C-alpha cells in the first residue's frame, strides 16, 4: 500500500505539502483578484465544467486544483494526530492562535454587504485557504518530527524563480520583448483584443520608453502604443520578476524564503558538504536577483534582516550591535547612491502609495464597521482618487486594505495578530538554523505588508501563513526530539 505504516503516512502528507508549496511558487503568483492576467493551465479538470472557456483569461482551474491538494493535506495531516486534535502547544498563546479565525469570520460578515460580490468571493476563498495553511502549521506540522522536509518544496520553487530571474537579466527580458514585437508585426498580437479592464485612461508612457518605441518601424510603433500603458512599461522594464507577478513580489519571495532555503542547505543531514557548497552561489544569486528586481522596499527590508541575523552571532552584545549598525549603514549608503536619480525625479511610486493609503483611510472613515467588502479597494479608490494619480486595484498596504475592505475591526484583528505574533517569536530563543531563518523570513513578510500586497498573492501568503502557524506552536529546540505524533 502507498501509506500502510505511520512513517509512510507522514511522508505522503509532507510530500503533499511540498508539492503544494512548490506549485504555488510558479503557478499562483498573481493577486487573487487579478487572476485573469494568466491564461488557464490544464491540470486535468475539464475547463467547461468550471464555467471557464479556453479564451477566458483565468487560472481558476489550476487554483481550484491546488486547493484540493491543500484540502487533502489537511485531512491527511489531521488524521495523523491522536486526540485531542486541537489542543494548542503551551508555547502558543491561545489569544494569538485564534485571532486569525476571528479575523476570517469578520471577512465573511463584511462580504455580506460587499460592493462587488465576485471579487469578495474570490478574496474570501483565498483568505480561507490562508487560514487552513495557518492551522495546518499549528496543529500538524508543529507536532511532526520530520516537518522540515515539507520546506524543500518551497526551496525548489524559489530556486526556479531565481534561475528564471537570472535568465531575464542576462538577455531574457530583451528576448521576450523582441518576441512580443514580432507577434505584433505578424498580427498575432492585436491591441484591440486586450481585455478592456486592463486599460486605464489618462496614462502616458515614460519619455525614455517612447524614444525606444519610436526607433521601430512606424506601423509597429503605432500598434505598440495602443496597448495598455502598464503592459508596455513591463515589456520595456529592466527589472526582473521571475515567475512572480511583478518585481516587488519577487523581492518579497526572496526575503521570505531565501533565509529558509539557505538554512535547509547548511543544516545537518545527508550530503552536507555538497549542500553547503551550493549555499554560497545560491546566496549570491538570490541577493543579485533582489538587486536586479529594483525593489527599493526589498533593499531596505534586507538590511533589517541582515542586522537581525548578525544579532544571533555568539559575540558580545556591544560587538553585535556595532556589526549590525555598520551593515545597515553601508547598505543605506549604497541605497542612496543607487536610487539618487529616483528621488530626484520625485519618488513617484512613494507618492502614489501615499495616495492609495489616504484613500483607504478615507474609505474606512466612511465605512468604519464593515468596509466595502474583501478585495474591493479598487472600487472605493475611484471615489477618492486624486486627478491624474496612478490607478490601482490594491492598497499596497495589507493592513490599511483591511481597514478599507472590512472596516476598523478587520484592521485591528489582522494588525494585532501579525504584530503580536512577530513580537512573540522575537522573544523566543531559537537555536535551530531553520527556525531562525523562518523567523527572519516572516519578519520580512510582515514589514513588506506595509508597502505591498503579499497577503493577496498565494505564492507569498500561503508559505507565510503555514510557517507562521508552525513556528508559533513548535516547542523551542525540540524539532528532532518530538515524537511523530502527539
Chain segment 102-116, per-residue pLDDT in tens: 999 999 999 999 998
In this prediction, residue 1 carries a pLDDT of 39
Contact 435, 147 (CB under 8 A): no
Give yes or no for a cis peptide into 441 (omega within 30° of 0).
no
d(CA 105, CA 181): 48
CB atoms within 10 A of CB 345: 8
DSSP-based helix, strand, coil % in the chain, nearest 5: 70, 0, 30
d(CA 240, CA 291): 9
pLDDT averages per 10-residue partition of the chain, 486 residues? 58 86 86 57 36 48 72 73 67 87 96 91 91 90 84 93 92 86 81 59 73 85 80 84 89 95 84 81 93 89 84 73 77 72 63 87 94 93 79 90 96 96 89 91 95 93 95 68 40
Torsion sign (Cα): 349, 456, 209, 299: positive
Cell output for 177 = 520583448
What is the CB-side half-sphere exposure of residue 216 using CA atoms within 13 A? Answer: 18
Contact 229, 200 (CB under 8 A): yes
What angle do helix axes 247-266 and 151-167 make, rounded to 10 degrees?
130
Torsion sign (Cα): 66, 70, 73, 75: negative
In this prediction, residue 194 carries a pLDDT of 62
CA 92 to chain CA centroid, Å, is: 24
In this prediction, residue 343 carries a pLDDT of 56
In this prediction, residue 55 carries a pLDDT of 45
d(CA 299, CA 304): 9
DSSP string, 203-245: ----HHHHHHHTTS-HHHHHHHTTS-HHHHHHHT-----TTSS
Give tens-digit pLDDT for 267-283: 877 777 778 888 889 99
CA 17 to chain CA centroid, Å, is: 17
CB atoms within 10 A of CB 420: 14
What is the CB-side half-sphere exposure of residue 32 using CA atoms within 13 A? Answer: 29
Element (H, E) at 351: helix 348-366
Q: Supply the pTM of this predicted model.
A: 0.86
d(CA 159, CA 25): 10
CB atoms within 10 A of CB 281: 9
Q: Phi/psi of residue 211, each to 5°?
A: -65, -40
Q: How many residues does the chain have?
A: 486
d(CA 371, CA 403): 7
d(CA 145, CA 162): 30
CA 114 to chain CA centroid, Å, is: 25
Which burial class, exposed, middle or buried, applies to 138 when counting CB atoms under 10 A from its CB (0-12, 13-18, 19+)? buried
Nearest to 421 by CA among 483, 475, 472: 472
DSSP structure class, residue 193: G
| SS3 (DSSP) at 160 | helix
d(CA 421, CA 138): 13
d(CA 136, CA 132): 6
d(CA 339, CA 158): 26
Amino acid at each position: 500500500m502507498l501509506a500502510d505504516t505511520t512513517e509512510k503516512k507522514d511522508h505522503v502528507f509532507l510530500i503533499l505539502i511540498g508539492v503544494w508549496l512548490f506549485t504555488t511558487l510558479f503557478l499562483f503568483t498573481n493577486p487573487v483578484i487579478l487572476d485573469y492576467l494568466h491564461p488557464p493551465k490544464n491540470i486535468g479538470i475539464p475547463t467547461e465544467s468550471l464555467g471557464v472557456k479556453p479564451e477566458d483569461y483565468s487560472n481558476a482551474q489550476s487554483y481550484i486544483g491546488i486547493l484540493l491538494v491543500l484540502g487533502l493535506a489537511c485531512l491527511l495531516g489531521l488524521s495523523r494526530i491522536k486526540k485531542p486534535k486541537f489542543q494548542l502547544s503551551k508555547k502558543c498563546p491561545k489569544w494569538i492562535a485564534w485571532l486569525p479565525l476571528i479575523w476570517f469570520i469578520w471577512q465573511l460578515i463584511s462580504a455580506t454587504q460587499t460592493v462587488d460580490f465576485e471579487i469578495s468571493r474570490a478574496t474570501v476563498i483565498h483568505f480561507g485557504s490562508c487560514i487552513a495553511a495557518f492551522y495546518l502549521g499549528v496543529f500538524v506540522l508543529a507536532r511532526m518530527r520530520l516537518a522540515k522536509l515539507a520546506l524543500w518544496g518551497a526551496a525548489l520553487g524559489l530556486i526556479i524563480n531565481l534561475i528564471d530571474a537570472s535568465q531575464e537579466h542576462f538577455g531574457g527580458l530583451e528576448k521576450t520583448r523582441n518576441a512580443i514585437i514580432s507577434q505584433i508585426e505578424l498580427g498575432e498580437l492585436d491591441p484591440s483584443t486586450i481585455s478592456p479592464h486592463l486599460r486605464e485612461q489618462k496614462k502616458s508612457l515614460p519619455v525614455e520608453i517612447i524614444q525606444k518605441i519610436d526607433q521601430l518601424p512606424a506601423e509597429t510603433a503605432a500598434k505598440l502604443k495602443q496597448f495598455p500603458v502598464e503592459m508596455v512599461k513591463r515589456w520595456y522594464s529592466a527589472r526582473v520578476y521571475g515567475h512572480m507577478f511583478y518585481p516587488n513580489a519577487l523581492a518579497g519571495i526572496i526575503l521570505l524564503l531565501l533565509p529558509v532555503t539557505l538554512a535547509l542547505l547548511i543544516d545537518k543531514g545527508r550530503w552536507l558538504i555538497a549542500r553547503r557548497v551550493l549555499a554560497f552561489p545560491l546566496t549570491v544569486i538570490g541577493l543579485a536577483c533582489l538587486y536586479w528586481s529594483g525593489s527599493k522596499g526589498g533593499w531596505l527590508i534586507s538590511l533589517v534582516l541582515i542586522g537581525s541575523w548578525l544579532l544571533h552571532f555568539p559575540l558580545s552584545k556591544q560587538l553585535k550591535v556595532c556589526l549590525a549598525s555598520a551593515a545597515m549603514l553601508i547598505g543605506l549608503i549604497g541605497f542612496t547612491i543607487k536610487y539618487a536619480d529616483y528621488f530626484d525625479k520625485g519618488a513617484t511610486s512613494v507618492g502614489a502609495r501615499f495616495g492609495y493609503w489616504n484613500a483607504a483611510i478615507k474609505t474606512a472613515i466612511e465605512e468604519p464597521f464593515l468596509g466595502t467588502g474583501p478585495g474591493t479597494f479598487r472600487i472605493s479608490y475611484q471615489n477618492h482618487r486624486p486627478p491624474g494619480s496612478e490607478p490601482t486595484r490594491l492598497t499596497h498596504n495589507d493592513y490599511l486594505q483591511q481597514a478599507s475592505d472590512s472596516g476598523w475591526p478587520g484592521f485591528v484583528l489582522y494588525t494585532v495578530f501579525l504584530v503580536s505574533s512577530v513580537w512573540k517569536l522575537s522573544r523566543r530563543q531559537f537555536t535551530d538554523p531553520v527556525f531562525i531563518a523562518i523567523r527572519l523570513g516572516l519578519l520580512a513578510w510582515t514589514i513588506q505588508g506595509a508597502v505591498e500586497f503579499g497577503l493577496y498573492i498565494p505564492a507569498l501568503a500561503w508559505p507565510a501563513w503555514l510557517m507562521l502557524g508552525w513556528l508559533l506552536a513548535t516547542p523551542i529546540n525540540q524539532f528532532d526530539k518530538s515524537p511523530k505524533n502527539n
